[in-house]
Amino acid sequence: VLDGMPEELSNLAAAQAEQVVRQHLLEHSEQKGSGAIEDGARLRRQMAKLEADMFVENKLLKKFEAQRVHLDDEHDGISEKLKAMMGPRITLHQRRVQREKSALEKVQQEANRWEDMFKKSKAGALELLKERKQHKNNLQAAHDAVVAAEKQEEVARTEFEDVRG
């Protein structure tokens, strides 16, 4: 609605400036033409025309200025109504965003806690596997030692019975 107003106002300002120039020309013409009757009549007609034009342009200028003031007031009123309507909605959405941020932070903290727990459990499990492997190796070594001892016992028994017998 306000888009065309600055152009119209500048056109009116230019027209007003033109009126001032015409007024000066008219005054100059009045001074110059006071000698001849024809010139005087012509100048009076020009002066009347210029005065009429100036009156119309002043009237238009006042009309456009009143429209501008009215549109500015209307714009301000609509802007205030919009702010009044949208203010609570914006506040509501800001609160919702804040709640969601808080919930996200809690979820991230919980995820970090679980990740730390997982890392500790994994480290513990790896340590247990290492110990289990060591125990298995020790058990295998003991088993191998028992088998070797049994073989030695069998050899010793055989030798003992050969010697005894």
Helices 37-164 and 5-32, packing angle to 10 deg: 160
- pLDDT given for residue 36 in this prediction: 58
Burial 100-122, CB ≥16 within 10 A → b, else e: eeeeeeeeeeeeeeeeeeeeeee
- pLDDT given for residue 51 in this prediction: 92
Cβ neighbours of residue 54 under 8 Å, at least 6 residues apart?
Answer: 19, 22, 23
Per-residue pLDDT of the chain (165 residues; tens, 9 = 90+): 445 566 776 777 788 888 888 888 877 766 665 555 566 677 788 989 999 999 999 999 999 999 999 999 999 999 999 999 999 999 999 999 999 999 999 999 999 999 999 999 999 999 999 999 999 999 999 999 999 999 999 999 998 888 886
- pLDDT given for residue 5 in this prediction: 64
What are the tokens at 69? 């003031």
- pLDDT given for residue 1 in this prediction: 46
- pLDDT given for residue 14 in this prediction: 80
Return the closest-CA partner of residue 49 out of 8, 15, 17, 19: 19
How does DSSP classify residue 35? S
Residue with tokens 């000066």: 24
